[in-house]
Every structure is written in structure tokens, then in C-alpha cells.
Amino acid sequence: MNNDILKTLYSKEDIANACRRLGKQITEEYGDKNPVVIGVLKGAIFFMTDIVREMDLYMDIDFIDVSSYHGGTSSSGSIELMKDIDIDVKGRDVIFIEDIIDTGRTLKYLEDLLADRGASSIKVCTLMDKPEGRVVEAKADYVGLEVPNEFVVGYGLDYKGKYRNLPYVGVLKPEVYSNK
């Protein structure tokens, strides 16, 4: 699997440092609040588990799954809710944990969904941001790492379901796209 990687964009250490920095910032800003922290499946699984352990806060944890990519490398445009949260967010402070913001469509969909349910605040923490990819207006409140307009895999992010378990973030060799 490692042989399919052209280059590493962010190492394990880069990711761990980003988790520590954001976890500390969120801990300071939320203080004695009791947020609902929602991991967006599946891409954010590793980031979710790492970052919540950097937050010294009482919190509730939940997961939501939305689909937009359908396995390829470009966004399909429409977002589908695949798995909903269990917690009632009315009157609660919500923090979404995302892997990467690209077009911004997923983020906008998630924010609208929970705003409709009466969350009292909604913030978004993303490991990676691809500002050049934006199609709709969307902005994360906490950003770990910026990435160029390239398709990345690893640390939760997939290509056709694979590579999520790479411990770092990298770019695939061009032949991987033609062979698999």
C-alpha cells in the first residue's frame, strides 16, 4: 500500500501537532461548556479519536455519515444523509469534526441540518482545508492543515475505499488511478 504513494504531504508528527494545537484551542474556548462533538464518517474517524483526547472538556460524542463522493476523486454535488446522530442537539453547542473541506457542500449541508434542529451554536473543526476547491461559501472555525488542490489519501481519507489506514497523508502515484 505504501508503494502506491507518490509523496507524503503531512507526516504522523505533523498530524499529531495539529491535533494538539486545535485540541488546546478548543479546550480554552469551550471551558465549562458541554459540547456535542460529532465525527463525520468515515473520513474523520482517526482525526476524531485523536482530537477529542486532546480536549479537556466534558462532552458527548456522536457520529454522522453523509455521502457525496461515491468512491471517486471528484464531488458529485448532491449530499445524502446515510447515518444520523442519536443525540438531540436542541439548545446544545455542536462541534463537527471533519477530515477535509473541499467544495464546502458537505459542511453547508451539515450546518443547515443542525441549525434546523435548534443547535445553539455550530462550529466546525477540520483536519485539512482545500480553500481552492470551494464551490459554495463555507468556512471551518478550526483548521489543522492546508492542502493544495490535489486529491489526498491516508489518515482516514480513501480512494475507492482503500488507503484510510495509512498513518500519514499523501498523494497517490498517477498509475494507481489508471490501474485500480
- By CB under 5 A, name the binding residues for Mg ion: 40, 43, 69, 99, 158
Judged by beta carbon, residue 72 or residue 118, the one nearer ligand 5GP is 72
Contact 7, 170 (CB under 8 A): yes
Q: How far apart are CA 42 and CA 139, in angstroms?
A: 20
Encode burial over 135-163: b for 16+ CB neighbours within 10 A, e otherwise. eeebebbbbbbebeeeebbbbbbbbeeeb
Known catalytic membership, residue 116: no
Judged by beta carbon, residue 64 or residue 100, the one nearer ligand 5GP is 100
Which of 102, 129, 141, 158 is an active site residue? 102
Judged by beta carbon, residue 74 or residue 120, the one nearer Mg ion is 74
Bond preceding residue 42 cis, omega within 30 of 0: yes
Judged by beta carbon, residue 88 or residue 135, the one nearer ligand 5GP is 135
CB of 166 to Mg ion, least distance (A): 14
Q: How far apart are CA 57 and CA 48, in angstroms?
A: 14
Q: How far apart are CA 64 and CA 165, in angstroms?
A: 20
CB of 58 to Mg ion, least distance (A): 25
Where does this chain bind ligand 5GP (CB under 6 A)? 43, 68-69, 75, 98-107, 151-153, 157-159
Q: How far apart are CA 178 and CA 180, in angstroms?
A: 6
By a kind-dependent CB cut-off of 5 to 8 A, residue 103 interacts, out of Mg ion, ligand 5GP, none, with ligand 5GP
CB of 25 to ligand 5GP, least distance (A): 21
Catalytic residues: 102
